[in-house]
Amino acid sequence: MNTNPGLQSIPIKVPLEQIDIKVLGKDKIRELYRAGKIPTPEAILDEIITRAAKEDVRFIHFEPMENELIIRFGNYDFLKDVVSLPVNLAENLAGIIKIKAGINAFEKKKPQRGKYVMNIGPMQFSLVVNLIAVNAGERITIDLLNKNAELPALEDLGLRGNNLEKYKKLISRKSGLIILVGAKDSGKSTTAYTTLKHLRSKEKNIVTVEDRQEYVLNFATQIIVAPEVGLTRDEALNALLNQNPNIGLISEILDNETITKAIEAVVRGSLMFSTMISRDAMSAIPRVLGLDVSPYQLSTALIGVVFQTFVRKLCNACKETYVPDFAEQRLLGVGISEGDQLYRAKGCEQCHGTGYSGRTAAFEVLEVNTELLDLIYQNASLATLSGAAKIQGFVDVRDDIKRKIKEGITSVDELRRVTD
Ligand SMILES: [Zn+2]
């Protein structure tokens, strides 16, 4: 599925294939240079990024080798070579990217990070650049995100059955803190934005504080932290409080300041969302308490923690049925009977031979009710909290993945990959 259809009509300006060193060889390239027929580095960079946007890939890799600069495109489930450029272009391209991303050009040893925004056709893209020195130069990864991409519906995030019901109940509350957790790139910010879109209405004031604007929300006030122009995170958080939002989002709980401000907003009557890195829903609670927040403070605000992890979806064009063996039946537990068929990955042209195409999320939805709040207030151990949540019907992420396996959405291999 391509989410960037508005870009398809952009013509190719630089035929990268005509300067591919793997195709032409060194001598022919030298001739092109002599004849002045190599496009400028600016035009080459522009073409690479535009093509990535058109192909809807998330990552662009610049990998300098001894004799070539390999450009690769990647997503979460594949990586492919695009073109091999003459290696002497590497330094020029790196120089331009550094200027655009506000990266120090004189620092040659430490890894660096920067960001910038670029318009491609009718869309605006957020680019985050990561750069590290390697033997042959500088290895660069650009993380490319279409800020105008269409957000999915709440029902299409991967929340199913009971999880969807519980989540809808949580977000219908008037106030409270909901923490969306997962690994980096688990899709939690998409969940956050999708939820805001689901809750939007003319009567509601929605305000966000974000370090990187991943989506443009035309129904919300988005405060983008930009210390380089004097807008620090603290100032942004204060601005959010002063806006008195009905609904708020703070992009990442990083420190005591963030969580304290989020709790303060809830006490004033807001429904607040925030994201955080955590390996499951339950352990987010001690993580937050570790930021020097008192159990009392947290228990005045927290109403839910939602964990998610992505699982790759089986390619519909090539997935094949099979009968699981005894070990797999046991792994999947109840709901699988002898002779039942499941699906597994095969690989075809459409899915670049991986057997998977696209991804969805598996969830844990933890409702923090009075009993759990009491336990948090008493500073109970993680084991005690987990035990209490299980008794109340908390379903862990493995069970959600098993459900997705039985529905033919993903595979047993994915369950093993995610939970091993
Ligand atoms: Zn396939």
pLDDT in tens, 385-396: 999 999 988 989
Q: Cα of 413 to ligand 1 centre, how many Å? A: 16
Share of the chain above pLDDT 90, in %: 75
| CA distance between the termini of the chain | 29
Q: What is the DSSP letter of 157?
A: S
Q: Cα of 338 to ligand 1 centre, how many Å? A: 27
What residues are paired with 130 via a beta bridge? 113, 141
43 to each of 9, 64, 93, 107, 124, how far by Cα in Å?
A: 18, 19, 10, 25, 19
pLDDT of residue 128: 95
Give the chain's domains with CATH numbers: 5-146 (3.30.450.90), 154-419 (3.40.50.300)
Give the mean pLDDT of 405-420.
Answer: 92
pLDDT of residue 1: 43
Q: Cα of 123 to ligand 1 centre, how many Å? A: 29
Q: And the tokens for 386?
A: 């987990």
Q: Sorting pLDDT into bands at 50, 70 and 90, what band is 339?
A: confident
Q: Cα of 318 to ligand 1 centre, how many Å? A: 4
Q: Cα of 53 to ligand 1 centre, how many Å? A: 22
Q: Cα of 351 to ligand 1 centre, how many Å? A: 4
Q: Cα of 357 to ligand 1 centre, how many Å? A: 7
Q: Cα of 345 to ligand 1 centre, how many Å? A: 8
Across all residues in the chain, what is the average pLDDT?
92
Mean pLDDT is lowest, of 63-77, 333-347, 369-383, for: 333-347
pLDDT of residue 420: 76
Q: Cα of 75 to ligand 1 centre, how many Å? A: 16
In this predicted model, which residue has the larger pLDDT, 345 or 76? 345
Q: Cα of 332 to ligand 1 centre, how many Å? A: 24
In this predicted model, which residue has the larger pLDDT, 30 or 167? 167
| Residue position matching structure tokens 């709440």 | 154
pLDDT of residue 2: 52
Q: Cα of 362 to ligand 1 centre, how many Å? A: 21
Closest CA to 332 of 257, 278, 410, 265: 410
Is the predicted pLDDT of residue 151 greater than 50, yes or no?
yes
Count how many residues are written for the chain. Answer: 420
Q: Cα of 1 to ligand 1 centre, how many Å? A: 13
pLDDT in tens, 262-317: 999 999 999 999 999 999 999 999 999 999 999 999 999 999 999 999 999 999 99
C-alpha span between 261 and 302 (Å, rounded) = 13
Give the mean pLDDT of 331-345.
Answer: 83
What is the edge-to-edge ordering of all strands in the sheet holding 176-182?
221-224, 206-210, 247-250, 271-277, 176-182, 302-314, 356-367
Q: Cα of 71 to ligand 1 centre, how many Å? A: 24
Q: Cα of 361 to ligand 1 centre, how many Å? A: 20
pLDDT in tens, 35-47: 988 999 999 999 9
Contacts of residue 156, Cβ cutoff 8 Å, sequence gap at least 6? none
Is the predicted pLDDT of residue 3 greater than 70, yes or no?
no
Burial (CB < 10 A; 0-12, 13-18, 19+), residue 227, is: exposed
Q: Which element (helix H / strand E) includes 367?
A: strand 356-367
Q: Cα of 348 to ligand 1 centre, how many Å? A: 4
Q: Sorting pLDDT into bands at 50, 70 and 90, what band is 4?
A: low
The reply to whether the predicted model has a pTM over 0.85 is yes
What residues are paired with 80 via a beta bridge? 73
Is the predicted pLDDT of residue 353 greater than 60, yes or no?
yes
| Residue position matching structure tokens 């291999």 | 413
pLDDT of residue 63: 96
Give the mean pLDDT of 226-247.
Answer: 93
What residues are paired with 364 via a beta bridge? 307
C-alpha span between 184 and 58 (Å, rounded) = 14
Closest CA to 361 of 406, 399, 311, 410: 311
C-alpha span between 290 and 295 (Å, rounded) = 10
Is the predicted pLDDT of residue 381 greater than 50, yes or no?
yes
In one-letter notation, the amino acid at residue 236 is A
pLDDT of residue 82: 95
Closest CA to 360 of 410, 402, 420, 306: 410
Neighbours of 316 (CB within 10 A): 13
Closest CA to 20 of 2, 6, 39, 36: 39
Q: Cα of 347 to ligand 1 centre, how many Å? A: 4
Q: What is the DSSP letter of 387?
A: H
Is the predicted pLDDT of residue 347 greater than 50, yes or no?
yes
C-beta of residue 144 within 8 angstroms of C-beta of residue 125: yes
Q: Cα of 342 to ligand 1 centre, how many Å? A: 16
Is the predicted pLDDT of residue 164 greater than 50, yes or no?
yes
Give the gyration radius of the chain's Cα atoms. 24
